[in-house]
Amino acid sequence: MGQTHSRVIQNIASQAALPLLAGLAYFIVSYATITFTTRGGTVAPVWAANALLLAVILTRPRAQAPAILLAGIIANALSGLPAGNTFSTALLYALGNGLEVAVAAAGLMWRKDGSRAFSDPETVPDVLIWAGLVAPASSAFLGGLAAWLHHAHTLSEAYARWFLADALGLLIFTPIFLALINGDLRRSLAGQGLRRKLEIATLLALTAGAATLAFFSSEPMLLLLVIVPMLLVVLRGGWMSTKIALAIVTFIGGAAMMGGYGSSVLQGSHSVLHLYGIQIFIAMLIVVQVPISAMLATRQATIERMRESEQSLHLLASRSPVLLLAFNLGGICTRVVGTTELLLDRPFDALVGASFPDISEEGQYELIRAHNAALEDVSASHTAEFRTVKLRDAWMEAVFRAHFDESGRCIGTIATVHDVTMRKKQELWLSRTATTDSLTGLLNRAGFHQRLDHALLKAEPGTLSLAVIDIDRFKLINDNSGHQVGDTVLKEIARRISSQVRASDAVGRMGGDEFVVLLATSNWERVQEICGRIVTTVNSEPIILPSGNSLRAAISCGVARYSHGQSAEAFIHEADTALYRAKRGGRNQVVAA
């Protein structure tokens, strides 16, 4: 029971620690701002305390936001009492500031990770809208009312002062507090060398010096001095340095304003400039500098990503058998990445500026076809397969896609080339397996029918002959000697049949002990002579068996000549009928249909 009670107390303490620390920090910043930047009963020119509270909320889980916000409201009310505010006035200030932080946090955490809102240049529009406009505008009603009651300002003047002070505070100091809390500032410094750090420090020192000279001088033209080092910070320092420079300018400008220094432009007799001059000037710097810095940071980030991608691409290409080629519209190679020696057996520089015939003499037409197809159909990939016989006997595959520039204009194609020799060999093996008899190595039924159908597509009458062969009394061989002997007989007869025909002829095993031969010749006498020679060759020599014994086999053959319009089935049936007659006539002979 005691341990459970202790754990509950520890849990409550851990949950309350962060809001208490946030409230204490808010009190310190708020009290310091009120003490050092308000004079004569005026509102502070820049309010930084809300930026601290917003930064803490953005970096913590959303469930902790209400407690942190409540701690900030209480701290705000307490910090206002020593300045002479009544409790009601201090409460109005605190509620206004609490409303502002809540609106800004809700807007920035609505669509994305709020902790990256002020560190990601792409979020600049959201930051300007929520932190620079909506949040301070919503809180200025309560804050302006409190200032009107306490400082006797006009309501419009109090509203404008509150709006400008809080908007500048959120825009300038929230990025600084966020960078300190989430470690961005530490990582930014750690990732830079000494020379780079000295350069940034020099630019920030120049900015501070220019701001001091401009704000504490009575010469209006000196205000332009602030713009020059600020631009240098934007161009050379980057996104983080720009945020720090704005904070420096704000500190110095606020100090000059509270001390009564400054040019007639900022402290002149004109009421608007007298009240809001420093705030308007800093706001102008933010409006000009922040978007420029954001665009440059986004561009630099894009360049870094492209550089990393380029390095990764080169590393990947160097470790894998892939070649990337870029071609212009005319088919000239403009860029090469990858293993050129491994794939195309030539150095890198030999491919840049090369045309398709130079890249592969054997595959030039396939490459040109795929390149042109990719230019015509820019939404799809187009493949070219070619064989590099002269360089090394290998198959290559090139996949082309259209290549576009930044404006979306097609400027050529990009091709990925890789070795597909193993795949082609596998495809060839699978093709042969599907059409080849595994026992004899001849065409199987499917393979022979495919060959016959293809031959009949362009055959003229009398130009093809078909022989159907059957082993005489093969069943007795199997029954008396076994299937192993039968297989030996089948393989040997298949070899003897193949030895008597040309490579352009087709020999197949239809199943069992039935063979077929397709002879592509119009000489009918020659056909019958070949068939007779096959029968004689099979029977002339005994077949040696694995056991060392031998047996003599014989075959019967029926042969038919192709007739006009004859189908494959009818052609085979005619030869089969002749075979039946040969077997009835005594076997071991040829009968022509």
Instruction: Give, for 4, the enclosing helix (H) or strand (E).
Output: helix 2-37
pLDDT (tens place) for every residue of the chain, 593 residues total:
455 555 655 666 667 888 999 999 999 999 988 887 765 455 677 899 999 999 999 988 888 999 999 999 999 999 988 877 778 888 888 999 999 999 999 988 875 666 667 666 677 788 888 988 999 999 888 887 777 776 656 778 778 888 888 988 898 888 888 888 888 788 878 778 888 889 999 999 999 999 898 888 877 777 888 888 988 888 888 878 888 888 898 888 878 877 777 654 455 444 444 446 677 777 788 777 777 777 776 777 676 676 666 655 555 555 556 788 999 999 999 988 876 655 566 776 778 889 998 888 888 999 999 999 999 999 899 999 988 766 667 888 999 999 998 888 999 999 988 888 888 888 777 777 788 898 999 999 999 999 999 999 888 998 999 999 999 999 998 888 888 999 999 999 999 999 999 988 999 999 899 999 999 999 999 999 999 999 999 999 999 998 888 999 999 999 999 998 899 999 999 999 999 999 998 899 999 98
Q: What is the pLDDT of residue 264?
A: 46
377 tagged catalytic: no
Distance CA 189, CA 428 (A): 60
Q: What is the pLDDT of residue 331?
A: 93
Phi, psi of 89 (to 5 degrees): -65, -45
Please, which residues bridge with residue 337 across strands? Answer: 324
Catalytic residue of the set 419, 437, 470, 513: 513
For residue 214, the number of C-alpha atoms closer than 13 Å in the C-beta half-sphere is: 26
Q: What is the pLDDT of residue 539?
A: 92
Q: What is the pLDDT of residue 113?
A: 63
The string of DSSP codes covering 147-160 is HHHHH---HHHHHH
Distance CA 540, CA 407 (A): 80
Q: What is the pLDDT of residue 270?
A: 45
Query: Going along 375-439, which residue ranges are E strands?
Result: 382-387, 395-404, 410-419
Backbone dihedral region for residue 84 (phi beyond 0: left; psi -120 to 50: alpha; all else: beta): left
Q: What is the pLDDT of residue 555?
A: 94
Distance CA 414, CA 317 (A): 15
Pairing mode, strands 465-471 and 514-519: antiparallel
CATH superfamily membership of 436-592 = Reverse transcriptase/Diguanylate cyclase domain (3.30.70.270)
- The answer to whether domain 320-425 has CATH 3.30.450.20 is yes
Instruction: Give, for 507, the enclosing helix (H) or strand (E).
Output: strand 506-511
Domain-wise residue ranges, the chain: 17-183, 192-307, 320-425, 436-592
pTM over 0.75, yes/no = no
Q: What is the pLDDT of residue 257?
A: 73
